[in-house]
Amino acid sequence: MTETTAVDKFYGAALLLLRWRVKKWGRPKLATESGVSAASLLNYERGRTVPDPEIRKKIADALGVSPAGLDRLAAAIQKGMIGLQGTEGVERIVAEATAALADDFSRGAAPLVEQLLSSQRSTPPASSDEEIQALAPILEGIDVPELQVLVEKTPSLRRWTFLKLVGEESARSASTDATRALQVASLGLWVAERVPGDEGWQCRVFAWAIMGNARRVASDLDGALEAFASSARLRAEGRREPPEVWRLLGLEASLQIDLGQVPEALRLLDQAAQAAPPVGAIRARLLCKRSNALERMGDSEGSIAALREAMAQIDREAEPRLLCMLQFNLMESLCAIGQAAEAERMLPGLRRLQTAVGNGLNQLRLRWLEGKIAAGLGRADEAITALSAVRAAFAKEEIRYDEALAGIELAGLYLEQGRTADVKSLVREMEPVFRAKGVHEEAQKALKLFRRAVELETVTVELVRRVVVYLRRAQNDPRLTFEG
C-alpha cells in the first residue's frame, strides 16, 4: 500500500480524531468553520469519499493544522492499523502523529491516537460513561452491521449510557430512514438483554420503548402498542421509577398523538415536563411534541407558541440540528395559517442551518418549504416550479407518501390557475403512488377519491386542501380515515 493510498483510506479517521476528541466539535461546528457541508464531512469521516486538495485545505485550516500535517496523521494511523501493535508500536505511532500536528494539539492528540489504536489489541480498555458519551458522533451514519460488531467486540459498551445513545440514534434516523430506525432499535434490545442486574432492568424498560417508537415511525401502530406494553410490564416489575423517566413519557406521547389520543398525549407530556430538567434541549424537544399535539387538535396558535418557546430554550450553537427542526416546523406552521411573509424572513437563517446539518433529503424538504412560502405569497409560477421539482425527486427516490403530498399540493396550484388539463396529466404521472406499498390503505382511499374527482372534473381547491390536511395527519396513523 502506497502512502497516497494510505492517506486516502485513513484521512477520515484522522479528521474524526481531531474534530471529535481534540477540538471537541460536532460535525455542524466544523461545517460552519470550514464552509464544507456536514453531509460531505460525514462521507469523508466514513471513508466513502475523499476530498480534493482545495477542500482538504479548508478543513485543515478550520482545525488549525496544515493539510500535510493532517495527511501525516492519517499515514501514522494507517501504519498502526496494518501491523504495528503492542506498546512499542503505539509509542512510535504517537510520536509520528504528534510531530505532524501544531504544538497546541500535541498533548491532546497523543492519547487519542493511542486510544484509537488500542482497538487492535486483544483486550480493549474499559469504557467510562464519559468515553461512551463521546461515541455519539461516530454512531451517526454508521452502518448497523458495523455497529453490531462494535458492540459484540466491546462488552464494556453494554450499559445504560450506551443504550441512551442507541435510542437517540434510532430517533434521529426515524426522520429519514424508518428501516434503519428499526434496525438500531433491535440492536438496543440486544444490548439491553446483556446488561445485568438493576441496570439491565432499566435498559430493557427503555429498549422496548425505543422499539415502540421505531415501529410507530414505520406506521406499525399495533406493533408499537405491543412494544410499549412490554416496556410498561417491565416498568411495573421495578420497585422504583427508572431514571430519566421523561424519555419514556415523551416517546409514549408521540404514539398517542399518532393514535389520535391527543388529550392523553398532553397528559403524558405534562408529566414528562415535571420530571425533565426545566430548561435546555430536553425541554425544547418536549415542547416540540406538544406543538405536534396541539396542531392535531386544530390549535395552530398554541402549536406555534410552543415552537417559539422551544426555540428560546436551546443553546443555538450547541444544538444546531434541533434548532433547524424547530425553525422548519415553525415556518411550515406559519405558512399554514397564512403568515408566509414571516416564514420568508426566516429563510436565510434556515438555509445556513441546513447547509451545516442537512443531508440530501433535508435539502429537498427545504425546497418544498420554499415552494409553500412562494405559494402563500402569491408567486404561483415559482411555487409550481419548486413543487414540481420536489415531487419528481420524491418519485425518483420512491418516497411515495411524500410524493403524493407534493403532488396533491401541486394539483391545488394548477386548479387555482384553471389548468385542469395539467391536473389530469399530473394524476397520470402519479399512477405509481396509487399502487405503492408505502402509502397505507386509508390514505390510498383518499387518493383514489381525489383521482376519481379529477376524472369526473368535479375536483375543487377545497377538496385538495382537505386531502392535504388529511395526508399530513395520517402519515404515521394508518387508522385515521378520510371523511370524503
Task: Give tens-digit pLDDT for 338-389.
Answer: 999 999 999 999 998 887 776 567 788 999 999 999 999 999 999 999 999 9
Higher pLDDT, 221 or 155: 221
Q: Is the residue at 56 inside a domain?
A: yes
Q: Is the residue at 133 inside a domain?
A: no
* DSSP conformation letters of 99-114: HTS-HHHHHHHHHHHH
- For residues 115-141, give the mean pLDDT: 55
Q: What is the dihedral of CA 31, 9, 97, 24, to 10 degrees?
A: 30
When divided into structural domains, the chain yields a total of 2
Amino acid at 49: T
* DSSP conformation letters of 419-479: -HHHHHHHHHHTHHHHH-TTS-HHHHHHHHHHHHHHHTT---HHHHHHHHHHHHHHTT-TT
Q: Is the residue at 191 inside a domain?
A: no
pLDDT at 472 over 90: no
Q: Which helix (H) or strand (E) holds 180?
A: helix 178-192
Residue 123: what pLDDT? 38
- For residues 134-143, give the mean pLDDT: 66
- For residues 246-263, give the mean pLDDT: 93
Q: Is the residue at 91 inside a domain?
A: yes
Quick one: what percent of the chain has pLDDT higher than 70? 82
Print the domain residue range for 364.
351-474
Q: Is the residue at 331 inside a domain?
A: no
Q: Is the residue at 197 inside a domain?
A: no
> In the chain, what is the greatest distance between 2 CA atoms, to the nearest angstrom?
81
For 321-342, the pLDDT digits (tens) are 889 999 999 999 999 999 999 9
For 168-203, the pLDDT digits (tens) are 889 888 877 788 899 999 999 999 999 999 999 999
Which range of 158-162, 215-219, 290-294, 470-474 scores highest in mean pLDDT? It is 290-294
Residue 409: what pLDDT? 95
Looking at the chain, the number of H-run helices and the number of E-run strands are 27, 0
Among residues 65, 92, 125, the one where a domain terminates is 125
Q: Is the residue at 325 inside a domain?
A: no
pTM over the 0.75 mark? no
**Which pLDDT band, with edges at 50, 70 and 90, does 166 fall under?**
very high
Among residues 89, 105, 125, the one where a domain terminates is 125
pLDDT at 22 over 70: no
Residue 105: what pLDDT? 46
Among residues 66, 101, 125, the one where a domain terminates is 125
For 53-95, the pLDDT digits (tens) are 899 999 988 888 888 777 777 776 666 554 444 444 445 554 5
Q: Is the residue at 214 inside a domain?
A: no
Q: What is the CATH number of the domain that holds 408?
A: 1.25.40
- For residues 138-167, give the mean pLDDT: 79
